[in-house]
């Protein structure tokens, strides 16, 4: 009965019928996890500055532009200088840089908003790899990648999230899938107080380790696994003893306004 009630409640949350509640679904992928511990994200990056940073976006292909056949606009979602939720939609200009209108402390999602192509299984919604980075050709924050077969994915794969200011998160479930024949190690971390700007800082803490993981691991308890205060970073990192492995993670968080 309890599981049924929980499922029905979460369905109502997803339908927008429970005020102050929402469900965050995050998924991440790293196709080349190596011997050094790295985030399970496309590009193996998740920037975590303590102050907001100016960003810019560009593509590797000129067709990702306002009237082109590729991505015409791209939406980015993250947190502002106060760790409040923030998003914007940017009009692309091909291989030329376009500045984001706002500065960010976190970016946890980016996707194609409009495209010049009616997408099919043979044609995707962007022409090149699209990179969001620190202004003036700085560090990469997020990437809209091309798959191994060069098919545009249209959405970032970032297996990390940061709880916005004014909210509490409840971890509902998590899932790991591993490239066949590989046995990487996947570590789940959390770090509270992401807005701390001087010592002593809140520590980054391991809350679960999957050692020598093979195939798939799914964890879906009857109630929330852990509680995540506002401004908490949470996500997965991985490594292998030798060689490289492809690792995908997915997790769900119930986000509740304080």
The tens digit of pLDDT for each residue in 150-161 reads: 899 999 999 999
Q: Write down the domain spans for the chain.
A: 2-45+159-257, 53-144
37 close to 46: Cβ distance less than 8 angstroms: no
Residue 180 pLDDT: 72
- CATH 1.10.3470 applies to domain 2-45+159-257: no
What is the helix (H) or strand (E) element at residue 26, kind and residue range? Answer: strand 21-33
Give 142-193 as a DSSP string: EEE-B-TTS-B--B--B-EEEPPTTEEEEEEEEEEEE-TT---EEEEEEE--
Nearest by Cα to 123 from 56, 57, 58, 63: 63
Q: Model pTM?
A: 0.93
- pLDDT tens readout for residues 7-25: 899 999 999 999 999 999 9
């Amino acid at each position: 009965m309890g599981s049924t009630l929980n499922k029905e409640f979460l369905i109502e949350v997803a339908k927008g019928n429970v005020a102050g509640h929402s469900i965050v679904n995050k998924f991440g992928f790293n196709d080349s996890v190596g011997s050094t511990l790295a985030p399970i994200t496309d590009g193996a990056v998740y920037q975590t500055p303590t102050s907001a940073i100016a960003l810019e976006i560009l593509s590797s292909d000129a067709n990702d532009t306002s009237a082109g056949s590729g991505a015409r606009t791209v939406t980015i979602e993250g947190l502002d200088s106060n760790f409040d939720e923030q998003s914007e939609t940017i009009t692309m200009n091909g291989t030329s840089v376009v500045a984001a209108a706002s500065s960010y402390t976190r970016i946890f999602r980016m996707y194609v908003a409009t495209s010049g192509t009616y997408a099919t299984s043979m044609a995707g919604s962007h022409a090149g790899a699209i990179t969001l980075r620190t202004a003036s050709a700085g560090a990469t924050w997020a990437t809209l990648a091309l798959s191994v077969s060069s098919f545009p994915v249209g959405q970032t794969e970032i297996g990390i999230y940061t709880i916005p200011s004014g909210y509490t998160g409840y971890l509902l479930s998590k899932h790991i899938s591993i490239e066949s024949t590989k046995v990487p190690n996947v570590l789940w971390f959390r770090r509270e107080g992401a807005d701390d700007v001087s010592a002593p800082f809140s520590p980054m803490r391991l809350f679960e380790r999957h050692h020598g993981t093979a195939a798939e691991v799914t964890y879906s308890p009857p109630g929330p696994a852990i509680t995540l205060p506002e401004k908490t970073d949470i996500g997965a990192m991985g490594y292998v003893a030798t060689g490289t492995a492809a690792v995908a993670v997915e997790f769900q968080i119930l986000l509740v306004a304080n």
